[in-house]
Amino acid sequence: MIRSLCNQLRNRLQTGVEVSEDRPTVSQVARHAGVSVASVSRVLNGLPATEQTRAKVLAAVEELGYRPNAHARSLKVRRSQQLAFAVADVGNPVYVEMMRAVEDEARARDYRLLVSSTAQPDDMLALLDSLEHGYADGLVLSPVRVNADLVAALRRVTYPVVVVGTVPADLDIDNVRTDSAAGVGLALTHLAEQGCRRVAFINGPRDTVPGAARAHAFEDHARSLGLDLDPALRVEAGDFTLAEGRKAASALLEGTTPDAVLGANDLLAIATMHVLAERGLRVPRDVAVIGMDDTELADVTSPALTSVDLAAHDRGGAAARLLLERLEDPDRPSQRVTIQPRLSVRGSSDLGSARR
């Protein structure tokens, strides 16, 4: 009984309409008007919207006989002055750097930042649902896995959301991404130019957005550069962590000793360096190593880690600015920002210096 009442209250807060199966919903009004749910919500709450959007929404409201819940609507128009930031692993250095950038932008505009760890897809869905209650005014989201349920939930939200990472082309949402495929190409080209032919790749799970993108990019660039395509040179770690990286590197080196190893992130690359050292192999003289993300950890390894800079700080800052702009101008067209990577060459791949 209590659970049923809570679900009803949640639905009222989400849609701003009395719960009744024979009454139209905000989503139905949005579809009828040909606008987003967020636009309908703004018009009904008396917030700024274009005259064209306002006319479409009001016409749809009249035609469908929609009646909003005045109490729930009053709750929705209040600003919390809080922004939410959600990532899969709050301890990952990439997300820490991204969070710093989001927080800097938020603080400059007198917003507080709430950080959530959403390791599982259900965690992300629960967060999207809970934010409808208004404890944050908008969300910067960096999901590792993007599935149909998440995309459907993002289409339904009534508050501003910016996604950092790759999203479907038809998802009308503000988006910031980096061209990690180009980053893989930079790393492999650098290794090929130094004479490496047997380049191994330690990836994270391929059912993740970065895992899938980097796996495809490695295959494409390795083929175009004429590198060895031996399947034994490709290993998939259970996660993008040091512990899983050690397991993957150990499995790789049981069967072969490559000229170089590209890790799909810095943690996997650093784990590989540790395993190589344990086996008496020198970096880069025996095996060169490159990571991706160019986190602060890259400078504290010995030798320092060459890494593909995927601009975590820039991505976080860009996402925060898009979110704040959306709060000011909710009817502007969605924007997609792509940040190009660059290669930071350090000692772990500098074969010229190692051989002198």
What per-residue confidence (pLDDT) applies to 215?
96
In a domain, 104, yes or no: yes
With 0.85 as the threshold, say if the pTM is over it: no
CATH number at residue 57: 1.10.260.40
Q: d(Cα 249, Cα 155) in Å, to the nearest integer?
A: 40
**147 vs 144: CA distance, rounded Å:** 10
Q: Same domain, yes or no, for 138 and 222?
A: no
- Domain extent for 39: 2-65
Q: Which of 290, 296, 329 is nearest to 138 (CA)?
A: 329
pLDDT of residue 341: 97
- More confident of the two residues 162 and 32: 162
> How far is C-alpha 42 from the chain's CA centre?
27
The vertex-171 CA angle with 167 and 175, nearest 5°, equals 55
List residues bridging with 348 in a β-sheet: none
Same domain flag for 118 and 212: no
What Cα–Cα distance (Å) separates residue 106 from each residue in 109, 165, 324, 327? 5, 20, 8, 12
Q: Does residue 75 sit within a domain?
A: no
Pairing type for strands 174-178 and 336-339 reads parallel
Q: Which of 30, 65, 100 is the last residue of a domain?
A: 65
Which stretches of the chain are assigned E, i.e. beta strand?
Answer: 82-87, 112-117, 138-142, 161-164, 174-178, 199-203, 234-236, 260-263, 288-292, 306-309, 336-339, 342-344
* 98 to 72, 174, 297, 305, 339: CA distances (angstroms): 34, 17, 15, 20, 14
Are 280 and 199 in a shared domain?
A: yes
Residue 242: strand, helix, or coil? helix
Q: How many domains does the chain have?
A: 3
Return the CATH number at 141: 3.40.50.2300
Pair (306, 316) in one structural domain? no
295 with 150, same domain: the answer is no
**Residue 94 shares a structural domain with residue 199:** no
Instruction: Looking at the structure, tell me whether residues 349 and 207 fall in a common domain.
Output: yes
Looking at the domain assignment, is residue 74 inside a domain? no
C-alpha span between 46 and 49 (Å, rounded): 9
pLDDT digits (tens, 9 = 90+) for 177-229: 999 999 999 999 999 999 999 999 999 999 999 999 999 999 999 999 999 99
The helix/strand/coil state of 346 is coil
From 291, 276, 138, 103, select the one nearest 203 (Cα to Cα). 291
49 lies in a domain? Answer: yes
Q: Which of 38, 65, 92 is a domain's end point?
A: 65
* Same-domain pairing of 296 and 160: no
Q: Residue 216 belongs to what H/E stretch?
A: helix 209-224
Domain shared by 26 and 86, yes or no:
no
Helices (H) and strands (E) in the chain, counts: 14, 12
Give the residue-averaged pLDDT of 11-39: 65
* 70 assigned to some structural domain: no
* Judgement on whether residues 233 and 298 belong to the same structural domain of the protein: yes
Query: Do residues 290 and 317 share a domain?
Result: no
In a domain, 197, yes or no: yes
Please report whether residue 72 resides in a domain.
no
Residue 45, in any domain of the structure: yes
Does one domain contain both 250 and 351? Answer: yes
| The amino acid at 189 | T
Q: If pLDDT is split at 50, 70 and 90, which confidence band does 64 have?
A: confident
pLDDT at 71 over 70: no
Which of 65, 90, 107 is at the close of a domain?
A: 65
